[in-house]
């Protein structure tokens, strides 16, 4: 019976809606994810819309709400100076954006 529950959980895991509350860190070492902002939408891996209220976040659809405190965040990001520096620091958090 336990294996059936586990399989069911794994099958439905991708459909669980994660809020995307983001905290922009002051230092790269504090971030789970480093982000580089490109100049054009055609260069982007993800197009993000910054919403005004946490209630406007709709699962994992690129609507981000930036919180004021690190402890409120689901994901901490750092905006890098160079595209080559972008990427995951804490890969355990990758599921938040998939």
> What is the DSSP code (8-state) at residue 46?
-
pLDDT of 19 reads 57
* Domains of the chain, residue spans: 17-97
**Residue burial 79-88, b: 16+ Cβ < 10 Å; e: rest:** ebeeeeebee
pLDDT of residue 85: 93
Q: Is the pLDDT of residue 6 over 80?
A: no
Q: What is the pLDDT of residues 27-75, one digit of tens each?
A: 999 999 898 999 998 898 888 899 999 899 877 788 889 999 999 998 9
């Amino acid at each position: 019976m336990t294996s059936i529950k586990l399989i069911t959980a794994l099958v439905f895991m991708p459909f669980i809606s994660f809020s995307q509350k983001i905290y922009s860190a002051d230092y790269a070492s504090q971030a789970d994810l480093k982000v580089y902002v490109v100049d054009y939408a055609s260069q982007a891996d993800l197009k993000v819309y910054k919403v005004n209220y946490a209630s406007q976040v709709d699962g994992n659809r690129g609507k981000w709400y930036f919180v004021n405190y690190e402890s409120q965040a689901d994901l901490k990001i750092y905006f890098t100076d160079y595209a080559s520096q972008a990427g995951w620091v804490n890969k355990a958090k990758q599921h938040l954006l998939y």
